[in-house]
Amino acid sequence: MSPIKIYLLTALILGMSTVSQGDSNEQCSNQENGETTGDKSTCGCAGANRPKSDNARSEEEPTNEHPTFKYSSDANVLKNLVRTHRMVPIPGGRFIMGTNEPRFEADGEMPARWVEIDPFYMDVYEVSNAEFQIFIEAAKYVTEAEKFGDSFVLEGELSSETSATVKQAVAASPWWVPVKGADWRHPEGVDSDISDRMDHPVVHVSWNDAVAYCTWMGKRLPTEAEWERACRAGKEERLFPWGNKLKPNNQFRANIWQGEFPYDDTGEDGWAGRCPITEFPPNDYGLHNIVGNVWEWTADWWKVSHSSTLQVNPTGPPSGNDKVKKGGSYMCTKEYCYRYRCVARSQNSPDTTAGNLGFRCASSSLPEYLKE
């Protein structure tokens, strides 16, 4: 075992938090879940971050010799695959980002401020296992979780065999356990696979992995402002992409957690755990699961103080320790991690991977291979 791994193990056994110690996590007592009292929350759903010293990641870049248009629906790879990489236009213009009524002040949800952005395109869906597999096979890319050899999984999702092998937990959020062999192909460890979940969002992908995928696709990650613009879909000052009621007409509109977290995911919304990327109605811009299901990486570095003056095409701070993620996940409840709201935000270090963290891509112009 390397000195770094021994340090990690020791830290976890001793109850030292290995999560990011950024602005919003100093008093964190739980993670994918924040608190019921928004003002005092400092957790940010940041989950478990990789220790900065764990630098096993290679700097290899993927090849870019296989443009994705070669892998159209009638190409020779994954012949029966229905592609889900299409994009919709998101109008530019001015909109209100953030809120003056934050649920989690420590997350930097405030203030409400005018932001002006250029029009852009956004993936309709979270990136699926099937789409990610095309990239992996063509670009010969190896994800960071595969290089590190582990990733964070919700303990309750593990088989009893895998659970028995796990001795560590993240002190501040003990439901997150680092599982050897957990990666995008094996979301719950080595005895799991994705063969019957190719239409589920890819998880256990780091920010670096997400950038590599989007770049290979001729796309990029959305900025936080673009993501929030896309989430709101023209609805200003609303909690959710569809309005203020969680369940309009008594219908769930997103995949979140029902039941006692983290023990009992009742799946009242139709899904215990992650769901296919095509589930749930789209928002008014045509985006599915823009909140809930899996958190989505954005391009921006994390900060919690924002200017209240008009920002034009903001891209976040020039550097930082953590990247912004948006939208909450299937693990969110109102009591724990009430972050399936468009203004909600959280953060992880760029090499962090977990079972509730995925992404979708954006693009300033529509890639050629997506044009009719």
| Cβ closest to Ca ion, residue 181 vs residue 282 | 282
| Residue 359 C-beta: closest distance to Ca ion, Å | 9
Amino acid, res. 32? E
| Cβ closest to Ca ion, residue 158 vs residue 291 | 291
Please, which of residues 295-354 interact with Ca ion by CB under 5 A? 327
Please, which of residues 260-279 interact with Ca ion by CB under 5 A? 269, 271
| Residue 37 C-beta: closest distance to Ca ion, Å | 24
| Cβ closest to Ca ion, residue 146 vs residue 296 | 296
Please, which of residues 76-105 interact with Ca ion by CB under 5 A? none
| Cβ closest to Ca ion, residue 54 vs residue 226 | 226
| Cβ closest to Ca ion, residue 152 vs residue 257 | 257
- Judge if the upstream peptide bond of residue 89 is cis by omega within 30 degrees of 0: no
Q: Does 252 bind Ca ion (CB under 5 A)?
A: no
Question: How many residues lie near Ca ion (CB under 5 A)?
Answer: 6
| Residue 255 C-beta: closest distance to Ca ion, Å | 5
Q: Does 228 bind Ca ion (CB under 5 A)?
A: no
| Residue 126 C-beta: closest distance to Ca ion, Å | 5
Q: x/- contact string, 276-305, with Ca ion (CB under 5 A)?
A: -------------x---x------------
Phi first, then psi, for residue 10 (nearest 5°) are -60, -45
Q: Does 255 bind Ca ion (CB under 5 A)?
A: yes
Chain residues binding Ca ion by CB under 5 A are 255, 269, 271, 289, 293, 327
